[in-house]
Amino acid sequence: MALDSSADAPVPVRTVSRLIGEWVGQLGAVWMEGQVAQFRRRPGARNQFLVLRDTDAEVSLTIVADAQLVGSVEPPLAEGQRVVIWARPEFWSGQGSLQLRARDIRPVGIGDLLASIERLKALLAAEGLFALERKVPLPFLPHTIGLICGRASAAMTDVLVNVEDRWPGTRFEVREVAVQGVNAVPEITAALAELDVDPHVDVIVIARGGGSVEDLLPFSNETLVRAVATARTPVVSAIGHEQDSPLLDYVADLRASTPTDAAKRIVPSWAEESALITGLRDRARRTLLTAIERAIDSIADLRRRSLARITRQWEAATADIDHLSARLRALSPGSTLDRGYAIVTLEDGTIVRDAEDVSVGDLMSIRVAQGSMTARREAQNG
């Protein structure tokens, strides 16, 4: 391919084109797998053209095939179909274009697709992409929900309506994208990247209704799975029906069985939360009333016990006073006088205890139980 050339001695275009064609012609045929991105059957044309796209990257090649070969493919060749093609590179020197001439086209069967997914699943699991410790919990009440779904799809309606029913006024950032076919993976990953950097989005839901294994292939795509694994925002997978389990389910932070189930998992129920708050408030009220009633009963019981104790103390004190009064009365001079005794005192108030203390002629006051009298001593006792 090396040519001697310069600005003064350039090589003709035909020469360069011929040499490129010769070099490409030396390349051998190769088996390759991809997804049919573009295909429009050309009735009556000998050659049929299709674009084969890589399933994990934005790379595609033009394939040219004999009409008879295309017609023999079963099931019939269609956009979005996974195929394996044996082809050899060709360079059309007249147009300066490169394409690959297909010698064999084989649709990838369901068994092959499932086996391929299982191999990828084992690889990603070994890398730890499905580990539970990598999963991020969802916020209790997200500020804004990012929703990636098909254009005007039932899955979008299911999520929006059910979230609104559960928590009215919830905000959404919706990205409507292709959810099957060759454009699905790049559009979904682009939407994911956009929502992941939005500071207001607290959770991202990737939703799609049910479909065939082929329809759900984008959600087992390695590029998409790795994009979800590296996302900072929690991701909810809501793909297909309960029995569907694309690889997205394993790497997502939460797997919902359906889009409707996703709505129930990402926001709480206003009715349930209100009922819970009402129940807690009622329980608190009952607990408080019970505590107050117990306090009132305790105070009443304390009052009763206090009054009973005071009454007992009062009665005991009264009994003590009565006892002391009785003793005092028994020991008082009045009691002695009542028994017939008298108290004799001299004029100076001295109590006469001995007859020798009274001289003849001394006046004495004699106090008896009822009154008193005066007496004078007339003579000494014989």
Work out whether strand 30-39 and strand 60-66 pair parallel, antiparallel, or are unpaired. Answer: unpaired
Q: In the predicted model, is pLDDT for residue 46 greater than 80?
A: yes
In a domain? residue 6: no
Tell whether 75 and 196 lie within a shared domain.
no
Strands (DSSP E) along 10-136, which ranges? 30-39, 47-53, 60-66, 82-92, 97-107
Average pLDDT, the chain: 88
Query: What amino acid is encoded at 46 in this protein?
Result: R
Most confident of 138-147, 212-221, 351-360, 365-374: 138-147
Tell whether 247 and 288 lie within a shared domain.
no
Enter the tokens of residue 159: 């999520």
Better-scored residue on pLDDT, 339 or 375: 375
Tell whether 30 and 171 lie within a shared domain.
no
Work out whether strand 343-346 and strand 363-368 pair parallel, antiparallel, or are unpaired. Answer: antiparallel
Task: Note the pLDDT of residue 192.
Answer: 98
Residue 351 gets which letter from DSSP? B
- What is the C-alpha to C-alpha distance for residues 137 and 342, in angstroms, rounded to an integer? 108
Q: In the predicted model, is pLDDT for residue 221 greater than 90?
A: yes
- What is the C-alpha to C-alpha distance for residues 127 and 135, in angstroms, rounded to an integer? 14
Q: 58, 75, 108: which is the final residue of a domain?
A: 108
- What is the C-alpha to C-alpha distance for residues 188 and 216, in angstroms, rounded to an integer? 13
Task: Note the pLDDT of residue 14.
Answer: 83
Q: In the predicted model, is pLDDT for residue 1 greater than 60?
A: no
Q: In the predicted model, is pLDDT for residue 382 greater than 60?
A: no
Task: Note the pLDDT of residue 2.
Answer: 62
- What is the C-alpha to C-alpha distance for residues 239 and 113, in angstroms, rounded to an integer? 18
Tell whether 79 and 166 lie within a shared domain.
no
CA distances (Å), origin 196, targets 180, 187, 207, 284: 22, 14, 16, 42
In a domain? residue 229: yes
In a domain? residue 367: yes
CATH number at residue 63: 2.40.50.140
CA dihedral 91, 93, 95, 99 (to 10 degrees): 0
- Residue 290 CA to its chain's centroid (Å): 34
CA dihedral 81, 87, 90, 96 (to 10 degrees): 20
Mean pLDDT to the nearest integer, 249-275: 92
In a domain? residue 1: no
Task: Note the pLDDT of residue 229.
Answer: 96
Place of tokens 């009215």: 168
Is the CB of residue 15 less than 8 Å from the CB of residue 1? no
Largest CA distance in the chain: 191
Q: In what order do the strands lie in the sheet with 363-368?
A: 343-346, 363-368, 371-376
Q: Give the residue among 147, 92, 101 at the shortest CA–CA distance from 266.
A: 147
Tell whether 284 and 143 lie within a shared domain.
no
Task: Note the pLDDT of residue 307.
Answer: 83
Tell whether 83 and 17 lie within a shared domain.
yes
Q: In the predicted model, is pLDDT for residue 227 greater than 60?
A: yes
pTM above 0.95, yes or no: no
Tell whether 128 and 253 lie within a shared domain.
yes
Tell whether 129 and 260 lie within a shared domain.
yes
Mean pLDDT to the nearest integer, 298-307: 86
Tell whether 17 and 146 lie within a shared domain.
no
Task: Note the pLDDT of residue 378.
Answer: 84
- What is the C-alpha to C-alpha distance for residues 280 and 272, in angstroms, rounded to an integer? 12
User: How large a percentage of the chain has pLDDT more than 70?
Assistant: 98
Tell whether 121 and 232 lie within a shared domain.
yes
Total domains in the fold of the chain: 4
- Residue 286 CA to its chain's centroid (Å): 29
Task: Note the pLDDT of residue 208.
Answer: 94
Tell whether 322 and 339 lie within a shared domain.
no
Mean pLDDT to the nearest integer, 59-81: 90
**258-267, 328-337, 338-347: which range is least confident on average?**
328-337
In a domain? residue 186: yes
Enter the tokens of residue 363: 């006046």
pLDDT bucket at 70, cuts 50 / 70 / 90: very high
Task: Note the pLDDT of residue 342.
Answer: 85
Mean pLDDT to the nearest integer, 209-227: 89
Burial level of 365, CB count in 10 A (0-12/13-18/19+)?
Answer: middle
Q: In the predicted model, is pLDDT for residue 380 greater than 60?
A: yes
pLDDT bucket at 381, cuts 50 / 70 / 90: low
**φ, ψ dihedrals at 282, nearest 5°:** -65, -40
In a domain? residue 359: yes
Task: Note the pLDDT of residue 314.
Answer: 87
In a domain? residue 8: no
Tell whether 131 and 261 lie within a shared domain.
yes
Better-scored residue on pLDDT, 237 or 376: 237
Q: In the predicted model, is pLDDT for residue 242 greater than 80?
A: no
Q: Which domain holds residue 94?
A: 13-108
Alpha-carbon dihedral sign for residues 79, 82, 87, 93: positive
Mean pLDDT to the nearest integer, 122-149: 95
